[in-house]
């Protein structure tokens, strides 16, 4: 039976009730995990308020500001996790960003600034967070991130985010190879297209979703909860032999040629 009772899980990337990270948080909680939640701080505290109100029913142990572009804030986040829990068992990385101008039009128009920012937030952040998390995973653990088909195939308008996801997937493999000796597993879920705050910036996202609904073997796309179910499995002892993998949760769309 899937049981995460007594496990401490730090969840990043919850923005609203459409976030895939929210679906993951719900299923981790249902499986018995203790949750800690980070939010992206802003001057007016709007993100914190929204995240607090949303996740309150899950009774998280703490809420922490964590901008992954701020080294000191990342360091402080894990210091507080260590003080609160003593150890960490699960890290959920659901962080990605590209400017709206980078997610439409010609890929060759990608700016140096846009490329660097997207790779830093969407890909490098997994390395950085894992580097801090590994020291708290004293009894082993599970690190999980989110990727998308656009990291291995050309998807219209996904552009620079496809490059970021491709790098992210290689990060998973290199981290899995390094951290396996500490009994820390690192995996990724490649979810089908879902309407989220992040995906809404991708040009033609609704057309993409409708296409999947017509072509995928299950003739539909997937839900945040379905992704959350897979995440809970991958973070549990039931998946103790799985690491360095990209698991597709996309109603089967990835297998189709046309």
**Active-site choice (158, 174, 248, 253):** 158
Which pair of tokens denotes residue 67?
């901008």
Which residues does residue 39 pair with via DSSP β-bridges, in sequence order?
A: 65
Q: Which residue has the higher pLDDT, 240 or 100?
A: 240
Both structure tokens of 196: 């989220």
The residues, any chain, with a CB within 8 Å of residue 254's CB and separated by 6 or more, are: 149, 190, 248
Average pLDDT for the chain: 94
Residues 1-41: pLDDT tens digits? 899 999 999 999 999 998 999 999 999 999 999 999 999 99
9 CA to centre of own chain: 13
Residue 8, beta-bridge partner list: 34
158 is catalytic: yes
pLDDT for residue 194 = 81
Residues of the chain with pLDDT > 90: what percent? 85
pLDDT-derived band at 104 (thresholds 50, 70, 90) equals confident
**63, 148, 174, 248: which is the annotated catalytic residue?**
148
Q: What is the pLDDT of residue 208?
A: 81
Q: Assess whether 174 carries a catalytic annotation.
A: no
| Cβ–Cβ < 8 Å for 229, 198 | no
Q: How many CB atoms lie within 10 A of CB 44?
A: 8
What's the rounded mean pLDDT across residues 194-198? 65
């Amino acid at each position: 039976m899937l049981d995460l009772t007594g496990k401490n899980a730090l969840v990043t990337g919850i923005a609203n009730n459409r976030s895939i990270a929210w679906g993951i948080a719900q299923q981790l909680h249902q499986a018995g995990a203790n949750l800690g939640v980070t939010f992206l701080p802003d001057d007016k505290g709007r993100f914190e308020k929204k995240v607090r109100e949303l996740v309150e029913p899950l009774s998280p142990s703490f809420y922490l500001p964590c901008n992954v572009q701020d080294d000191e804030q990342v360091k402080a986040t894990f210091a507080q996790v260590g003080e609160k829990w003593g150890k960490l068992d699960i890290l959920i990385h659901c962080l990605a960003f590209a400017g709206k101008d980078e997610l439409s039009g010609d890929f060759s128009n990608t700016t140096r600034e846009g490329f660097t920012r997207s790779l830093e937030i969407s890909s490098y952040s997994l390395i950085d967070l894992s580097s801090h998390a590994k020291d708290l995973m004293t009894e082993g653990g599970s690190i999980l991130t989110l990727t998308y088909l656009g990291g291995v195939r050309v998807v219209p308008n996904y552009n620079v985010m496809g490059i970021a996801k491709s790098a992210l997937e290689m990060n998973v493999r290199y981290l899995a190879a390094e951290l396996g000796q500490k009994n820390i597993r690192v995996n990724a879920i490649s979810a089908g297209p879902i309407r989220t705050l992040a995906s809404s910036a991708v040009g033609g996202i609704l057309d993409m979703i409708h296409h999947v609904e017509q072509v995928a073997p299950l003739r539909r796309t997937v839900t945040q909860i379905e992704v959350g179910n897979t995440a809970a499995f991958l973070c549990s002892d039931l998946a103790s032999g799985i690491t360095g993998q990209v698991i597709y949760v996309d109603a089967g769309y990835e297998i189709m040629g046309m």
